[in-house]
Amino acid sequence: MPLTSGSPRILLKQLRQTLAEPLGSQERLDKIVDVIALNMGANVCSFYVLRDDSELELFATHGLKREAIHVTTLRLGEGLVGIIGADAKMRNLDDVTKHPSFAYRPETGEDRFNAFLGVPVLRAGQMLGVLVVQNSEKRIYTEDETEAMLTSATILAEMLSTSEFESLIKPGSDIDLRRSRTIEGVGFSQGIAIGQVVLHDPRVVVTNFVADDIDFELERLNRALRSMRMSIDDILNRSDMQISSTHRDILESYRMFAHDRGWEKRIQEAIKGGLTAEAGVERVQNDTRARMLRQSDVYIRERLHDLDDLANRLLRTLTDNSASLGLVELPQNAIIISRTMGPAELLEYDKSKLSAIVLEEGATTAHVAIVARSLGIVAVGQADSIASLCENGDNIIVDGNEGVVHLRPNADVEATYIEKLELTTQKLARYASLKDRPAITKDDHRIELLHNSGLVVDMQALEETGANGVGLFRTELQFMIASKLPPLKEQVELYSKAIEIAQEKEITFRLLDIGGDKVVPYMRSAAEENPAMGWRSLRLALDRPGLLRTQIRALLQAAKGRTLKILVPMVSETVEFKLVRAVIEKECLRQTRLGLELPSLIKIGAMIEVPSLLFELDILLPEVDFISIGSNDLVQFLTASDRANPRVANNYDPIALPRLRAFKHIVDAAKKHDIELTMCGELAGQPLEALALMAIGMNRLSMGPSSIGPIKELILALDLDPIAKQVLDILSNGATDITIRELLTNHIESQNLPI
């Protein structure tokens, strides 16, 4: 007969004793299922463990035939146990034999039983196994009993994740959470990195599972919830708090979940079952994670992620682990793992120790990816569930070339990558040997190769790559990493330093391009439906003339006595460009009035990244000194596909005919007006795409520093005219059964070009 109320707690106490006894692994498991069965008055208690071949293997049983242990297996989805293993949902049935999925296993003798209660054994949302009790009579298990089972499952999950059970695992069938995994994502920044996991948002490790005093634990939960709710409310209510709309949205959704009674009640139930407050939070978090892993609806997944983040917050409050919220001391070869990350957060890490980042989300043209490339940090994005699969200190290999991550790699994979890394080193040495050679094709077309940059640290690469200069200095990066608006003096310092490092090489400073996904945390802006098309960049600068004036002043001062190139971003109409030029002219007059030295020459250019400009190039070009194509934004707007949204960012080929024709239209206009044209979007740094751009007549390409070597190597091996002719033919004649990409791929292969 089942014990009455209080049995979950008694069970937990008994389990704790069993855990402390000096027993062998199998003995301990046998004892655990005995304890559960006796405590619950069940005829059967069985524990199945999920192997990596998707079979659930019977590891221990009370009540079924002992011969079945390590013999009986069920496929995921097969029988009720298999179904629980597949969907991670508990089942409580009064007569299992009537269930359509009942799978009979003669070796176990289980047909004598009717009542069935099966619960998933989860850790960090991942399925580890299934725990089952059965009774011969027909009955539904009580709430207390299901609670006791869920609690036992939490304990078993913890045990399984230790090394104690390794001896029970047959060679070749790897069951534990620590197994090697390969996760396919998308390469954001090229290169290979071998290192150790550092979780950007580290999980709190719960070590104390069993409560000594339930009331005390409930009170702890209560206090922690109160303090967490108050801190969220505080941040949201502080009128002086300059938080961005994205940050506010996240906090709003945290607040909603923090007050969710259902969530609180589930944690309380877990504690009443005998767990400590933190173990209770973790158990409920496990269920959330399991749902998250199963969920394909993006919106619901997002909300579950919020709930997961909130559980982490609560765990930190409970364990007073707030110190871990700050940035940790990085090990050498640190590889940061995170669900998402803004560029400013990435920049906060010590670059000398950081070798890669892996994100669950993001897109190639998102700014965090751009910053990773400009810092030469290997990056992979869209690596599904990576943050919940790894622990701090895990070995990891990040392959930014293939967009693959190998977590806890086995020795073979590691050896292969060590070899690959050596090859990469050789490649880098090859690129380094090209650094002083001008980028001239075999048929004598000279291409200017320039860097995209934005910080002092990435300016240093100019010397290493031998690039002709900086084609795009993203001045907003300084604003994004600062905790407050950088004053004039700091801006002058940065620009002067950049000019000093560039020496005689050219450098083009782009005016502030904030907004969209470039969040400046201390500048509050109203929530926008479409931030990429909202109050950003030049629009913001024109509305905040003080900001614009200060930056122009800083640039004029930093570039005194030499050429200053200023690039205006996100120009939508020529008139906007003229407004900026007027501000620059006014600032020059002011400098002169104050007796300050001016740059020897000032060139002002416009970025072509808003499609409407394509239809007034004849009006714009006479006004400008140079232009630069921002293909990241231009393609985003031409194809109406958000560059930061991984679902759509890569849906359309940027060098397909419509886009290439748009680029060619700009090339022709620049030629007609004899205006210098540079391509500074990410396309310029990708060899095949760069080939398409050169084919249509672009000869100034600005890219992340790590792309200079590969692109130069391609240029040096290239006869441009023949392939340019073919591309231009397709462009003017239209219909063809081969895409530009296919044409170039074939050409690269047939000519054996180094890509």
Residues that bind ligand PEP (CB under 6 A): 370, 472, 474, 513, 609, 630-633, 680-681
Neighbours of 509 (CB within 10 A): 24
3-state DSSP assignment of residue 675: coil
Residues 6+ away with beta carbon under 8 Å from 659: 635, 638, 639, 652, 653
Cβ density class 687-700: b for 16+ within 10 Å, e for less: bbbbbbbbbbbbbb
Q: Where are the beta strands (DSSP E) in 316-376?
A: 334-338, 354-359
Shortest distance, CB of residue 528 to Mg ion, whole angstroms? 17
Residues 6+ away with beta carbon under 8 Å from 750: none
Shortest distance, CB of residue 380 to ligand PEP, whole angstroms? 19
Are 478 and 522 within 8 A, CB to CB? no
471 near Mg ion, judged by CB under 5 A = no
Q: Which does 203 bind (CB under 5 to 8 A by kind): ligand PEP, Mg ion, none?
A: none
- Per CB under 5 A, the segment of 75-83, 156-164, 265-273, 602-610 that binds Mg ion is 602-610
Can you tell me which residue has the tokens 């069938």?
A: 173
Shortest distance, CB of residue 630 to Mg ion, whole angstroms? 4
Can you tell me which residue has the tokens 């003995």?
A: 27
The active-site residue out of 45, 390, 680, 747 is: 680
Shortest distance, CB of residue 508 to ligand PEP, whole angstroms? 11
How many angstroms separate the CA atoms of 445 and 669, rounded?
20
466 near Mg ion, judged by CB under 5 A = no
C-alpha distances (whole Å) from 135 to each of 93, 557, 671 are 10, 84, 85
390 labelled catalytic: no
Are 642 and 649 within 8 A, CB to CB? yes
How many angstroms separate the CA atoms of 730 and 732, rounded?
6
HSE of 286, CA atoms in CB hemisphere, 13 A:
27
How many angstroms separate the CA atoms of 469 and 560, rounded?
18
630 near Mg ion, judged by CB under 5 A = yes
Shortest distance, CB of residue 517 to ligand PEP, whole angstroms? 9
Element (H, E) at 399: strand 395-399
The active-site residue out of 367, 406, 451, 747 is: 367
Shortest distance, CB of residue 534 to ligand PEP, whole angstroms? 14
How many angstroms separate the CA atoms of 342 and 369, rounded?
9
In 97-184, alpha helices (H): 143-160
Residue with smaller CB distance to Mg ion, 452 or 465: 452
Residue with smaller CB distance to ligand PEP, 453 or 631: 631
Residue with smaller CB distance to ligand PEP, 72 or 452: 452
367 labelled catalytic: yes
Residue with smaller CB distance to ligand PEP, 440 or 523: 523
Q: Which does 631 bind (CB under 5 to 8 A by kind): ligand PEP, Mg ion, none?
A: ligand PEP
Are 161 and 178 within 8 A, CB to CB? yes
How many angstroms separate the CA atoms of 571 and 580, rounded?
10
Q: Which does 474 bind (CB under 5 to 8 A by kind): ligand PEP, Mg ion, none?
A: ligand PEP
Q: Which does 30 bind (CB under 5 to 8 A by kind): Mg ion, ligand PEP, none?
A: none
Shortest distance, CB of residue 516 to Mg ion, whole angstroms? 8
Shortest distance, CB of residue 592 to Mg ion, whole angstroms? 33
- What string marks each residue from 606 to 625 as x (binds Mg ion by CB under 5 A) or -? ---x----------------
30 near Mg ion, judged by CB under 5 A = no
Contact pick of 633, 682, 689, 713 for Mg ion (by CB under 5 A): 633
Residue with smaller CB distance to ligand PEP, 61 or 364: 364
Neighbours of 455 (CB within 10 A): 20
Residue with smaller CB distance to ligand PEP, 371 or 552: 371
Residue with smaller CB distance to Mg ion, 448 or 633: 633
Q: Which does 403 bind (CB under 5 to 8 A by kind): Mg ion, ligand PEP, none?
A: none
Q: Where are the beta strands (DSSP E) in 475-612?
A: 506-510, 563-568, 601-608
Residue with smaller CB distance to Mg ion, 86 or 570: 570
Beta-bridge partner residues of 510: 474, 567
Q: Which residue has the closest beta carbon to ligand PEP?
A: 630
User: Which residues make up the interface to Mg ion (CB under 5 A)?
Assistant: 609, 630, 633
Return the active site residues.
367, 680
